[in-house]
Amino acid sequence: MKSNGNYDWKFSTVGGVTRVNIESGQDILHLDELDRKLWTALSCPLKNLEIDEKTMTMLDTNGDGKIHIEEIVAASKWLTSVINDPELLLKREAFIPFTAFNTASVDGAHLLETSKQIIENLGLDKKEISIADVSDSLAIFAKTRFNGDGIITENSADDEAVKALIKSIIDCMGGVTDRSGDPGIDTDKIEAFYTALADFKAWKEAGDADKANIFPYEDTAAALAAVMAVKDKVDDFFMRCKLASFNTDSASVLDVSSAKIGEISGNNLAASTAEIATYPLARVNADHKLPLGKEVNPAWAGAMATLKALVIDKEYPNAEYITEDQWFAIVSKFNAYNAWMGAKAGAAVEGLGYDAVVKALEENKKAALLDLVAQDKALESKSNAIDQVDKLLHLYRDFYTLLTNFVTFSDFYSPEKRAIFQAGTLYIDERACDLCIKVSDMGAQGTMAPLSNMYILYCDCTCKSKPGTMNIAAVVTDGDVGAIMVGKHAVFYDRDGLGWNATVTKIIENPISIRQAFWSPYRKMAKSVEDMINKRAAEKDAKVMADANSKINNAEIPADGSKPAEVKPPFDIAKFAGIFAAIGLALGLVASAVGGLFAWLGLHWYHWIIMFAAIIVLISGPSMIMAWLKLRKRNLAPVLNANGWALNQRILVNTRFGATLTSIAKYPIVKTKDPFTTQAPLWKRILRWFVIIVCLCVAVYFIIPKDKRPCSKAKCENVEVIVEESAE
């Protein structure tokens, strides 16, 4: 068939849907001629697929996180133009021999030249290039001065002074990682460095010009630190003095009380410094003077001594007290210094020291550094060519795999292969589910997945060797429901063989197989009967317990304290004889009724089989028909659609194909007897024998001639009389 061109496409039926075949290099070469309506997928996501994400990123030219038909077509045209035989793409190899490059193409010849240069840089002697060769970019550029990324390292310079300057810039401004793996600098770092040098020099010289005002003390920085260490406590002291003057009755409250000191007097006071430091700096006084000697809070004595030595003794020699005005005068002396420090510029290069900054500005090797960057950028085209070789190698290996999972789904329908969306195998309830898909959006799954008509288990998976949680959707396509339930634990093995602990968190229920549908009504009936029996048993048990408690509470205890004698009912043989006679009569009546019905209808023994089969059909038929209708419509497309795929066709999973996606455990026939087998409950055994006896009675009824059958009216009346007499 020809589509959008003259190429003759071949088609086949795969998974119940007719699809185009992509099985030759010529098919890839003419991919742009294939009608978009015939593609299985229109787009697919980049992530959560079993294909190299780097390859997918290279294909995603518009950066929207998805691969579209146009991007695949563009990649096919480029690939088939730079290699001389498109059939090589079907091999899915991770290396390209040099003979495979199409040197008639400008791009092909350039890629071949670059590939040879890479092999030479690596010190290898071979006639091919592989993904492993190109992925080791550190080795490719380890011995080169320039590599085209616009970043220079110490190795880029010949002059030792320039090498030292590059190191200084990296130390001050931080480095940028070069393609070789070494730290380096680029144009932005160089410009920022020289700007910082100029700013720091100007700031430092501004401080030196007004030194007397800005630096009031010999070591102004240390003096300011001493002031700031006690400033809050000193300000607090003067405010307490003001409040005490405002309200004389508050003086005792504002001062540290003996009671408060008494609270900690029993402790090790040397270890209570933090508590003592919260007390006022000094005793409140009416003169509003801060003492500088022994009257100071001992927790602050050291800080006050430092303040006195660096500042107060310089301003007020031999002073024993300072007033609030004197304190404010001291603090204001640092205003100019604080303003100058707040305007600091070029702090990144401060560590070099003023002299080194001035020297670097005078030598001015900025132009030399920028020239090295320009030389490195001149090789940008060669650097980009290496990236193109890397892209070629990835597409050469993975492109055909993508086509067989995008244009067609042949990998999915091939028993010996797995599709790129199949993440691994889930082992649960004696089965292995191979159709497991990583889930990225549980909300979308909840909306779309029920439309697939598939039985799906959603599991949270964790692995000790990998951080985080992985969510998967495991599709059960064969077998029975078994003991699968929410909360059940399982083990998931990814495509690398790594085991994950899995827990079922959600189940979308749909028919799994015709076999499961056949037994489904009986299981439901059995479950209902079991629930009813359990309910009745619980009610009976509660009643018995209530009666027992009532009898115990109402029992009369003999005066001597002895236990009352238990009264046992006498054995009544007539009662048991009547029961067995009644059972026999019931069996006879059942056989007579069934036989009479068959005789009235003119039926024979084989009609029993037909009737039994009809009953089974009536019970299981609707369930099996509904299951058959759903199983033939099982479609994986909604599950993939919820994961970000845009599918153009149905992805059917019929019962025959489904049996290959879920394998069930098979056991040999074991002849040895289980020593721990449990016996059926009494009521089950009675019921089983009752059914057997009824069947035997009915069979005997049909075997015995009519004139000799025991169920005549007179005989039945005689039996009733016997039963009544026995009961009496």
Residue pLDDT, tens place only, 372-396: 999 888 877 777 788 899 999 999 9
Give the predicted TM-score (pTM) of the model. 0.61
H or E segment at 335? Answer: helix 335-342
In the chain (728 residues long), the average pLDDT of successive 10-residue segments reads 76 86 94 94 94 94 94 96 95 95 93 90 90 74 73 89 92 88 90 93 90 89 93 92 86 78 79 86 89 89 92 90 92 92 91 92 92 86 82 96 94 92 95 94 91 93 90 91 89 95 93 67 67 77 77 62 52 48 56 57 58 65 67 89 93 89 87 74 75 72 55 48 48
Q: What is the pLDDT of residue 571?
A: 45
User: By CB neighbour count within 10 A (0-12 exposed, 13-18 middle, 19+ buried), where does 180 fall?
Assistant: buried
CB-CB contact of 452 with 643 (8 Å): no
Q: What is the pLDDT of residue 69?
A: 96
Integer CA distances (angstroms), 553 to 539, 550, 556, 557, 560, in order: 21, 5, 9, 10, 18
CB-CB contact of 624 with 18 (8 Å): no
Cβ count within 10 A of residue 38: 18
- Beta-strand ranges (E) seen in 105-252 are 128-130, 176-177, 183-184
Task: For residues 317 and 12, give the distance between their C-alpha atoms in angstroms, rounded to a whole number.
Answer: 105
Q: Which residues of 335-373 are buried (b: 16+ CB within 10 A; e: fewer)?
A: ebbeebeeeebbebbbebeeeebbebeeeebbeebeebb
Q: What is the pLDDT of residue 611?
A: 63
Cβ count within 10 A of residue 590: 15
Task: For residues 516 and 672, give the distance between their C-alpha atoms in angstroms, rounded to a whole number.
Answer: 29
Amino acid 571 reads F
Integer CA distances (angstroms), 23 to 12, 341, 395, 477, in order: 11, 74, 17, 29
Residue entry with tokens 């008639």: 104
Question: Both ends of the chain: CA-CA distance in Å?
Answer: 94
Two tokens, residue 502: 């899995």
User: By CB neighbour count within 10 A (0-12 exposed, 13-18 middle, 19+ buried), where does 263 fall?
Assistant: exposed
